[in-house]
Amino acid sequence: MNGSGRYFIELAYKGAAYSGFQVQDNANAVQAEVEKALRIYFRKHIEALPETAWAGQVPFTLTGSSRTDAGVNARQNFFHTDCPIPLAENTDRHIYHLNAILPPDIVIHGIIPVAADAHCRFDATARSYSYYLYAAKDPFLSDRAFFFPYRLDHEALDAAAALLMNYEDFTSFSKRNTQVHSFICRIEESNWHQDGDCLVYTVRANRFLRGMVRGLVGTMLRVGRGKVDIDGFKAIIEAGDCSRADFSVPGHGLFLNRVFFPYL
């Protein structure tokens, strides 16, 4: 069918109700909801295809760009899928109806035709995350930022964030049971700043390890509270031992801001 091919699906979501971005056994994930919406909406189109057109394949099996953990939010993330239906036609209408099917905490922003070999995970050149904290009790922030009512040394936080730019081996900030073979990451941005009532840490890198941002934030908060000095923080980075880092900050304060591609 003309127009069929590979597509990137751009979406945003609030992660509180999900075990993570990608499908997992015995737990609901963002991917499962999007695949279900695609199959419901396009069912009649798929059934109208000749049996040989899509034989032996399951339409709308999605590949995710970034494996966000349980509770983590995203302002922008991507799936890619190979589809026998020309999604590039009537895109706005498709997006409208898919969003009507999806739960209110997931929204599709775009359906983008790409090259047949485009890959939303491996083609990404960088990702940007922000972690939000607030110090004064606020019911309107409780589900999207971490309540942290402690005095912090902002100069120490800034020094710790800047120090990270000098390193590439982040073994200390990767949780165990990871499947990666390299712990090398190039951090391109690392800073703390104020955003309204929230203190925000933003980091951009070419890749991230499992639990890395939360490990960075949790460990820097120890620096900000004076529990670890900057030399101690340097020693944690260089130790290559995740037991030295602090991964205790919750997922709901973390947002994936953007995924960067050379062709989008």
- Specify whether 69 is catalytic: yes
Residue 213 clears pLDDT 50, i.e. is over it: yes
Residue 3 clears pLDDT 60, i.e. is over it: no
pLDDT score of 133? 98
What tokens were used for 29? 């994930």
Domains and CATH numbers, the chain: 5-114 (3.30.70.580), 126-260 (3.30.70.660)
pLDDT score of 2? 40
Residue 3 vs residue 158, higher pLDDT: 158
Residue 215 vs residue 51, higher pLDDT: 215
Per-residue pLDDT tens for 140-189?
A: 999 999 999 999 999 999 999 999 999 999 999 998 777 778 999 999 99
Q: What angle do CA 77, 204, 213 make, to 5 degrees?
A: 80
Per-residue pLDDT tens for 86-114?
A: 787 789 999 999 999 999 999 999 999 99
| Structural contact between residues 218 and 211, judged by C-beta atoms closer than 8 angstroms | no
Range 221-246 average pLDDT: 97
Query: What is the C-alpha separation between 81 and 37, in angstroms, rounded?
Result: 14
Residue 83 vs residue 192, higher pLDDT: 192
pLDDT, mean over the chain: 91
For residue 84, which of 50, 54, 123 has the smallest C-alpha distance? 54
Neighbouring CB atoms inside 10 A of 162's CB total 13
Helices 91-101 and 30-41: angle between axes, nearest 10 degrees: 120
52 band by pLDDT with thresholds 50, 70 and 90: low
pLDDT score of 225? 98
27 band by pLDDT with thresholds 50, 70 and 90: confident
pLDDT score of 51? 64
Residue 1 clears pLDDT 50, i.e. is over it: no
Residue 58 clears pLDDT 60, i.e. is over it: no
57 band by pLDDT with thresholds 50, 70 and 90: low
- The residue from 25, 69, 158, 241 that is catalytic is 69
pLDDT score of 202? 98
Q: What are phi and psi of 63, to 5 degrees?
A: -110, 125
Residue 4 clears pLDDT 80, i.e. is over it: no
pLDDT score of 21? 86
Range 230-258 average pLDDT: 97
Residue 40 vs residue 27, higher pLDDT: 40
Residue 73 clears pLDDT 70, i.e. is over it: yes
**Amino acid letter, residue 177:** N
Per-residue pLDDT tens for 128-146?
A: 999 999 999 999 999 999 9
